[in-house]
């Protein structure tokens, strides 16, 4: 019963898989943890989360503009 329920849930999830931004398969715990960490790290590096730093960098480099 538990396996059947999990398989039905997996079928439901695959119907929406093309809408996901990332795909992490939880087959191996260590790999899953590493991949999840990589997704979190990449989110921190998004331009949208670094506006203040980008503005500061642009101001600093304005002095080199000719």
Q: What is the pLDDT of residue 21?
A: 92
Residue with tokens 């191996």: 28
Where residue 65 falls among pLDDT bands split at 50, 70, 90? confident
**Quick count: other Cβ atoms within 10 Å of Cβ 49?**
10
Give 1-60 pLDDT, tens digit per residue. 999 999 999 999 899 999 999 999 989 999 999 999 999 999 999 999 999 999 999 999
DSSP state of 42: H
State how far the Cα of 7 lies from the Cα of 5, in Å rounded to an integer: 5
Q: What is the pLDDT of residue 52?
A: 95
């Amino acid at each position: 019963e538990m396996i059947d329920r999990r398989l039905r849930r997996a079928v439901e999830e695959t119907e929406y898989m093309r809408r996901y931004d990332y795909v992490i398969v939880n087959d191996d715990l260590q790999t899953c943890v590493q991949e999840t960490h990589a997704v979190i790290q990449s989110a921190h590096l998004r331009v949208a989360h670094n506006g203040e730093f980008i503005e500061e960098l642009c101001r600093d480099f304005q002095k080199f503009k000719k």
